[in-house]
Amino acid sequence: MRAAAGATTTADAWNFVEGGSGGEHTMRENGLAFDRVRLLPRVAVDVAGRTARTRLLGLPVPVPLAVAPMAYQTWLHPDGEVATAAAAAAAGVPFVVSMMASRTVEDIAATGAATVMQLYWLRDRGLFRELIGRAEAAGCAALMLTVDVPLLGRRLRDMRGGLVRPATVVAANLGGAGGGAGAGRAGRSEVALHTKVLFDPSLSWADVAWVRSVTRLPLVLKGILDPDDAALAVDAGADAVVVSNHGGRQLDGAVATATALPAVVDAIAGRCEVLVDSGIRGGVDVLKALALGAAGVLVGRPLLWGLAAGGAPGVTRVFDLISEELHEAMALAGCPDVDSARRLRTSVAGGGC
Ligand SMILES: Cc1cc2nc3c(=O)[nH]c(=O)nc-3n(C[C@H](O)[C@H](O)[C@H](O)COP(=O)(O)O)c2cc1C
Ligand SMILES: O=C(O)C(=O)c1ccccc1
């Protein structure tokens, strides 16, 4: 699917999707860390009637997956987020709407997908609150505040290419301003410049508590890696955290999520839900995430590959592949359900049990 997507997208769009920050060490390490996790399968467990059904963010799901918030999907397909969300609705998987989505939250919600609204901390607090109101009115099931982007990571592919969004790729929920803002200039990413104007790097735990206080929706914090931050997230009233390094797009050199996850799960000690993303590429990775203590995962780039390669049916194909792989891996690991998957033992290749 990745190869098919690469063949259909422009160089700019491909750099934007595929790129990480700096030397892309963290981006590569995300995959390697999941690869190094070893599962201890159980045997002679009746898995004939197995199910991957569970609840995520208060929503019933057939598989423990949600669509990661990803900006500017019309860059990859004319229908953009509406196509991805239609496939998510068909799969019964929640769709997290990026604050930088190129389709409106109302259009996305109209697909019938369960939605969660992702937010960045904006300099314009009025616009920030307005978006919360829109998310509530559109029926979003939760808010997801991304806490790992005081500024956009140094995306060298985008800088070298002089990345500029086409006029069709706008932040549709922010008034659509800023699309195609001028000619490309080598050494500068227009997306990075645009976000610098919008995003407020002063976010603190007091602000998180304020966000908690202005909505009754469940609050998810995305971008937690340190167990102390996980505990602070609980103190601030978070209902869930996403262990994430933003797909290796923020701090290059940050720890891989499969490595960071167990300590966060310990620190949370059941006080809120723990999700994980960054490097999930198939059903076995999902099973590993569960075995490491996650309640579920966000799927990122693979869904964009499906979108670019084949629109909504392409996204459906990716959901189907990951779901089939998960069900098969659960059978082979002796797991009739998600709870048993979360009790599987793991070790790390090269390390002890
Ligand atoms: C093209 C692209 C756009 C993204 N946009 C956002 C965004 O708007 N908000 C956000 O919180 N995370 C964003 N992310 C990060 C994803 O939500 C997720 O953390 C990451 O993609 C997971 O890594 P993986 O895709 O390698 O699995 C974006 C990621 C990509 C690849
Ligand atoms: O690319 C990203 O990872 C991302 O989070 C983002 C944020 C704002 C605009 C475009 C992308």
| CATH classification code of 2-38+49-334 | 3.20.20.70
Where do the structural domains in the chain lie, given as residue ranges?
2-38+49-334
Low-confidence residues of the chain: pLDDT under 50: 178-179, 353
Dihedral pair phi/psi, residue 66, rounded to 5° = -140, 160
Going from the Cα of 199 to the center of ligand 2, the distance in angstroms, rounded, reads: 11
For 223-262, write each residue's pLDDT tens digit. 999 999 999 999 999 999 999 999 999 999 999 999 999 9
Most distant pair of Cα atoms in the chain: their distance: 63
Instruction: Give the separation between CA 226 and CA 239, rounded to whole angstroms.
Output: 17
For ligand 1, what atom is nearest to the CA of residue 149? 11
* Pocket residue to mutate for ligand 2, from 76, 100, 164, most atoms within 8 A of Cβ: 100
CB neighbour class for 243 (10 Å; exposed up to 12, middle 13-18, buried from 19): buried
The protein residue with its alpha carbon nearest to ligand 2, atom 6, reads: 71
* Residue-level pLDDT at 182: 52
For a mutational test of ligand 1's pocket, the pick from 65, 198, 249, 251, i.e. the residue with the most ligand atoms closer than 8 A to its C-beta, is 249
Please give the torsion angle defined by the CA atoms of residues 111, 6, 322 and 268, in that order, rounded to the nearest 10 degrees.
-80
Catalytic residues: 246
Burial class (CB in 10 A: 0-12, 13-18, 19+), 278: buried
C-alpha 96, offset from chain centre: 8
Pairing label, strands 54-56, 59-61: antiparallel
DSSP 254: P
Considering every ligand atom shown, identify the ligand nearest to the alpha carbon of residue 170 and give its number.
2
> Residue 47 C-alpha to ligand 1 middle, in angstroms?
34
Tell which residue, 105, 111, 157, has the closest CA to residue 133: 105
Ligand 1, CB within 6 Å, residue ranges: 16-17, 30, 68-71, 98, 100, 118, 146, 222, 244, 246-247, 277-280, 300-301
**Is 26 in contact with 252 (CB distance < 8 Å)?**
yes
What are the φ and ψ backbone dihedral angles of 20, each rounded to 5 degrees? -115, -170
Nearest to 284 by CA among 322, 337, 340, 257: 322
CA distances from 103 to 79, 85, 99, 149, 279 (A): 8, 11, 10, 22, 26
Q: Which residues contact 353 (CB under 8 A, 6 or more apart)?
A: 40, 345, 347
**Ligand 2 atom showing the smallest separation from residue 146 Cα:** 5
| Ligand index nearest the alpha carbon of residue 247 | 1
Provide residues with CB under 6 Å of ligand 2.
Answer: 71-72, 100, 149, 152, 191, 195, 246, 249
Distance from C-alpha of 89 to C-alpha of 85, rounded to nearest angstrom? 6
Q: Specify the DSSP class assigned to residue 239.
A: S
> pTM here?
0.97
Encoded tokens for 102: 């190129």
CB proximity list for 303: less than 8 A, separation 6 or greater = 67, 68, 70, 84, 315, 318, 319
Q: Which amino acid is at 69?
A: P
User: Which residue's alpha carbon is nearest to atom 3 within ligand 2?
Assistant: 249
Residue nearest to atom 13 of ligand 1 (CA): 70
For the CA of 119, the nearest ligand: 1
User: In testing the pocket of ligand 1, which one of 24, 70, 298 has its CB within 8 Å of the most ligand atoms?
Assistant: 70
**Residue 299 CA, closest ligand 1 atom number:** 27
Does residue 278 contact residue 327 with C-beta atoms inside 8 Å?
A: no
pLDDT tens for residues 293-341? 999 999 999 999 999 999 999 999 999 999 999 999 999 999 999 999 9
Residue with tokens 């750099």: 15
Residue located via tokens 């706008």: 170
* Residue 85: burial class (beta carbons within 10 Å; 0-12, 13-18, 19+): buried
Q: Which ligand is nearest to the CA of 257?
A: 1
pLDDT of residue 185: 72
Are the C-beta atoms of 283 and 297 separated by less than 8 Å? no
